[in-house]
Chain A
Amino acid sequence: MTKYLPALSVLFAVVATAVPWGLPADATFILPIIVVMMVFCWRAIPGAALPPAGAAGLGLLADLMSGGPLGYWALMCLIAATVGGRAGSLGEGRDLGKHWLIWTVFISLLAGFGWLLASLYYFRWIDWWPIALGALASIALFPVVLFGLLWIRHGRLGPERSQIFRGSA
């Protein structure tokens, strides 16, 4: 069961993105980006298993539920899985600050790419503000999500805490 926890937690988040929360129009990008962030975090946490194919599948499910272009969130999750996998193996110093910085740079680039891809898809410039707001919110929420995922993994903050939260401990 522990093996499937990463996929199950991301699946739960994907379903949550489709629930009618009544969020304002500008905030619609926050929840899908949190799904992408969860994929990134799971891949960065040492020992957690979320294969890129699983991440892409969950992204595809998000596409289906949102009614948007098929493959868009699958691609975003796939990129997050690839980068997250590399971020987890960045030497010994796996502290929170470094991961946070990697996520900040990564999501800034990914948001820009996502905006360009969406604009290309619709042949018109998409409103950039909801994407930027989603990216900013994800940067602010990064420690909370990482903390939450570690708690999900162990029911408490496990052995990775000393590695990942070294900077904050």
Chain B
Amino acid sequence: MRERGSPLFRRHRPSWHAPVELLSFGLYFLCAVLLVLSRIGHGVIADVRDELVDLTAPILEVASFPAIEARRAWERVQLYASAFDEVDRLKKENEELKQWEWRTKLLERKVAHLRSLLNAVEEPGLAYATGRVIADARGPFVRSALINLGRRDGLRIGYAVINGDGLVGRTVDAGDSVARVLLLNDLSSRIPVLVGPKAVRGLALGDNSAELQLDFLPDGAAIYAGDEVYTSGSDGVLPRGLRVGVVTGALGAFKVRPYAELNSLDAVSVLFFDAPALTRTDPPAIGGGALSTAPVDRANTATPSLPVAVSHAGTADGVPSSGGQAQVER
């Protein structure tokens, strides 16, 4: 004990700051480790994040309520301020829509007639669920939103999310009661699209800005500013024909301005679209008929059938029908 009081011991005794410094160093190291694990997409990190997002969802829902109401109130104030102009615009738009309605009915009859002539298969409906954005997860890296729909509502990862204007994004994380939607303009968002009346294939890339880059277009593609952009469905994740936006910019630097206002999302719908899986083998009962090319003895042979192409032509509409079934051709 006497040694403790000696000048030599006191000189070598560590400073009381040492544990604090060590803790700080440990925290810096932990942050670096978390960044690396997050970068490589470690499964444990993703699972823990999902759990925590699920836990914080009720808090976010309560916290976002006043913000959403305040935003709505502000929008109403803006609307009242321009009420007369808005009425004039709506009257004009209504006249145009009446003409479109007449043309659409004509085309519907024509399509139905042609379909009956071609003996085309009926288009299955697409179910959807509507929820609300409860949190905004937009920073320099991520453009995403949390919605109050989860696996309990039948939602899964990769589903398309739309609102009344068009495609908003797709689900990338899904908890029990909440899901994260990766918005179109996120840095890691890649949407295969068709552009214009000639349906030129391309890729709409998010870069965290308000507009998307339009890339991977074929050489000499006939694209003009104002052309409509919609999903091609070639990724097998999103259904074909969802409205994305409109082309802006000039040749060599085309961009896509999304129809959906991604900065102020409120109600959104999730389309329950699963990529159709093709069966690689025929069921055993098939065969023996006049048109069958399968061998007679199939006990030990697994003759792969030719994949039957399923039609995927789609409607260019981002709005689900009112009956709870969005008509997207599959």
Contact = CB atoms under 8 A, between A and B. Distances in A.
B49 A21 contact: no
B141 A20 contact: no
B60 A18 contact: yes
Contacts of A68: 137, 139-142
B205 to A, nearest CB: 11
Contacts, number: 141
A19 B68 CA distance: 9
Given A65-B60, A69-B38, A118-B140, A127 B23 contact: no
Contacts of B53: 64-65
Nearest to B208: A127
Contacts of A69: 35, 38-39, 141
Given A66-B137, A127-B207, A127-B208, A22 B263 contact: yes
Interface stretch (B26-34, B92-100, B157-165, B291-299): B26-34
A131 B141 CA distance: 11
Contacts of B134: 20
Contacts of A124: 187
Contact of B145 (A20, A24, A52, A130): A20
A18 B135 contact: yes
B199 interface: no
Interface of B: 23-24, 27-28, 30-35, 37-39, 45, 49, 52-53, 56, 59-60, 63-64, 67-68, 71, 133-146, 173, 180, 185, 187, 207-210, 262-266
| A-B interface, 8 closest residue pairs, ranked by CB to CB distance from nearest | A71-B34, A22-B264, A20-B136, A75-B31, A70-B38, A71-B35, A67-B137, A71-B31
26 contacts: A18-B146, A19-B135, A20-B64, A20-B134, A21-B71, A23-B138, A25-B209, A52-B23, A65-B137, A66-B138, A66-B139, A66-B142, A67-B137, A68-B141, A68-B142, A71-B30, A74-B27, A74-B31, A75-B35, A78-B24, A78-B31, A118-B140, A122-B187, A126-B141, A126-B187, A126-B208
